[in-house]
Amino acid sequence: MAISDMRRQYSMGTLTNKALTDNPLDLFKQWLDEAIAADIPDPTAMTVATVDASGQPSQRIVLLKELTAEGFVFYTNFGSRKAQDLAGNAQVSLHFPWFFMERQISVRGRAEKLPATHNAAYFFSRPLDSQLAAYASRQSQPIENKEALLARFAQLKQQYKEGELPAPEFWGGFLVKPSQIEFWQGGKDRLHDRFEYSLDDEHGWNAQRLMP
């Protein structure tokens, strides 16, 4: 079958005005809870899109680690490509691809670094091997082979087998404060339901239906 002939109907649900909430973060939380309950693979996985100094966009998948009243939290090495992009341009886009539920959510906003105390609290809540991996990997930097990375990890594991790692200054979280959130529900005959929330500093969140 040719790629151009691959298609299917979307018929798992609809999104109506009645289902909307005043604050889109409440609707996001509802959809996230439903994705988790449906046991779909990696329900907290999201694409993070950034733009570098030359205007070149980059995308990668990370895990949402916290949803607050202000927005979406993820963590990374501050030497990573995404962190370097955000240092020069805080505008960011997130995308949640819940294909198994015929849903997706797109977010536009600005990313802000979280305080060091917040970063440390989360870092030390992670399994020890995950902490060690954060120290072993200078994220996005070239390395000669996988064996060198594994050797670095093993060395750190031996070094800290009886002691706690220090809180890393090179690693931490970003809070993405949304200014626009779009909810997409697949529809029959490609007549999808799309609602876009936009934040107005004076009037708060406003929602409008978009054509598919």
Domains of the chain: which residue ranges?
Answer: 8-123+166-209
**CA-based nearest residue to 172, from 115, 212, 128:** 115
Tell me the C-alpha distance between 99 and 41, whole Å: 10
Identity of residue 187: G
Q: Is 152 a catalytic residue?
A: no
Please, is 35 exposed, middle or buried when counting C-beta atoms within 10 Å of its C-beta (0-12, 13-18, 19+)? buried
CA distances from 29 to 45, 91, 124 (A): 14, 23, 25
Return the amino acid letter for 2. Answer: A
Give pTM, 2 decimals: 0.94
The single residue of 103, 108, 152, 190 carrying the catalytic annotation is 190
What is the pLDDT, as a whole number, of residue 77? 96
Dihedrals φ, ψ of 42, to 5°? Answer: 45, 65
Report pLDDT digits (tens) over 47-78.
999 999 999 999 999 999 999 999 999 999 99
- The binding site consists of 7-10, 60-65, 75-76, 81-82, 104, 122, 126, 130, 139-140, 184, 190-192, 194
43 neighbors 36 (Cβ within 8 angstroms)? yes
What confidence score (pLDDT) does residue 140 get?
Answer: 85
Which residues sit in the known binding site for substrate? 7-10, 65, 122, 126, 130, 190-192
pLDDT tens for each residue of 142-176 = 899 999 999 999 999 999 988 789 999 999 999 99
pLDDT digits (tens, 9 = 90+) for 7-40: 899 999 999 999 999 999 999 999 999 999 999 9
Fold for 8-123+166-209, please state it: Pnp Oxidase; Chain A (2.30.110)
DSSP state of 53: T
Closest by alpha carbon to 112, among 81, 139, 80, 89?
89
Strand-pairing partners, residue 175, are 73, 112
